[in-house]
Amino acid sequence: MHRLFVPVIAPLIEAIQPRAIVEVGVGSGRLTRRLLEAPGAAGAVIHAIDPEPTLDPDLRASEPERLRVHEERSLAVLGATGPVDLALLDGDPNWYSVHSELTLLTRAAERAERSAPLIVAHNVHWPFGRRDGYYDPAVIPPASRRDHSELGLVPGRREPAGTGLRLVPWVARRDFEPRSGVLTAVEDFLATSALDWTSVELPGFHGVAVLAESKLLERRPALVAVLRDLRSSRSLGRQARSAESARLMAELELATARSRRGEGDAEEPARDSPDPEPTQADESLLELAQERARKEALEWRLGRLEEDFALRSGELEGLRADLEAEQQAATESRLRLEHSAERLQTEREAVERLQSGLAQRQREAEDLRAQLEAADERARLSEGRLAHSQDMAEALRQERDLLSGEVERLQADSRAAQATLEEVAEHLRLAGGTRRVRAVRWLARVARAATLRRQPRSSRFELAHAAVEAGLLPSLEPPEESENGSLTVSQVENGRASRRAPQ
């Protein structure tokens, strides 16, 4: 993974400026040394995790406060290191180990209430992208451990072969099985994680995947630019050049080893045989490799400077355009302000007119309110008079009813008096003959007059006696008759006087 430091890891370190880094799978410490020397990680604590590291003792003692070596398996250490800013995973290349490492890293960040770290996972392409590899199969749970072999791997072949490449001691016999391989572990983790992740895959040197959470991208805008650059064709070109340089170096080393053993007649030494003593050619190759690494680093930095210059030039052009736009907007705002001031004055005058009209309307409203109150008062008085009129009408109605009853009683009395008069007239007829008839007629007229004048109620005989006493009628006693049976002169005169008497 140290070959990916210049094109991938260094830009990421400069973008996030980590304070804590974890490296799983240290090996001889070539990547660890570069992490300690990286300017963007100055002062950062580095947790180097490997059950059997082969670090240089001088490297261990160089910065003891920053470099903390954990000679244990990653699953036993990640839960105790606490949250980190950058995680470089290059340990056991199998589904169980990688998926567990990703889970432990995110859980540590959740416990500390921080965003998940930036993660770089190695071996996501052939041969361990879809196939498990084991350094020690015994530490993998049986449910997650695949049937494995000690043979090597050949590109394009599913089954391990004796002439294949041996990168780890044991490999799964078949690839593309469920829950098998580093890339499968990364994909399964992203599919089940509750966080929002952005991932970038880069080919070359067995492939690498960069995982960044959305919250980290919000806090580190420079990281967004780095990930965008890693996706570009320029980054793929750099990866291709690095891979080609590594291939040429491998061929040069192989050719040098063959020439040192008799022009290629000797077989290639076994990988587990001890390394031969370094010669001057080896030192030259090492110097050449270091020079190429420095050249690649300088090329990368030059590319970054050119990109930064182009970016800043674009920003400057954008700022110039923004300034012109702001000046234009300021001019337009000034014109709008002047127009608004004129319109404000017009509106102020309109408001004053409206206020004057409103005052007039208020006065009119007060007058109308006073008129309404007067009308209400008149209405109340009219209602009182109406009620009084209704009471008077009711009293008159009652009086009319009483008068109607009185008239009926008077009519009854009149009829009774008429009957009495008729009886008296009958007596007079019997008593006096013709003169008596006249007296009866006179008595009838008097009775009718008395009836029309509504005389008070009296008995039948009281009315006749009252008429006689008033001189309206002659005495009801039988008149004295002459010897020949006619009325005397005095009786006649009395009757005439009675008739001439005022009523």
What type of residue sits at position 500? Answer: R
pLDDT digits (tens, 9 = 90+) for 277-309: 445 555 555 556 556 655 665 665 676 667 667
Domain boundary among 206, 236, 266: 236
68 found inside a domain: yes
**Which range of residues forms the domain containing residue 191?**
2-236
CATH assignment at residue 119: 3.40.50.150
pTM value surpassing 0.85: no
Domain boundary among 205, 236, 267: 236
pLDDT digits (tens, 9 = 90+) for 224-275: 999 998 888 777 777 777 777 767 677 777 777 777 765 444 444 444 444 4
Q: How far is CA 474 from CA 134, 412, 480, in A?
A: 168, 26, 12
The residue whose two tokens read 């430091």 is 5
pLDDT digits (tens, 9 = 90+) for 19-49: 999 999 998 899 999 999 988 888 899 999 9
What type of residue sits at position 55? Answer: L
Q: How many domains does the chain have?
A: 2
Residue 241 is predicted with a pLDDT of 72
Domain boundary among 236, 270, 291: 236
198 found inside a domain: yes
Pick the residue with more confidence: 317 or 200? 200
Dihedral of alpha carbons 16, 21, 22, 26, sign: positive
300 found inside a domain: no
Q: Is the pLDDT of residue 149 over 90?
A: yes
323 found inside a domain: no
Residue 464 is predicted with a pLDDT of 58
pLDDT digits (tens, 9 = 90+) for 175-198: 999 999 999 999 999 999 999 999
370 found inside a domain: no
Q: Is the pLDDT of residue 90 over 90?
A: yes
CA distance 425 to 438: 9
262 found inside a domain: no
213 found inside a domain: yes
Residue 43 Rama label (left phi>0; alpha psi -120 to 50; beta): left
Greatest Cα pair distance, the chain, in angstroms, is: 217
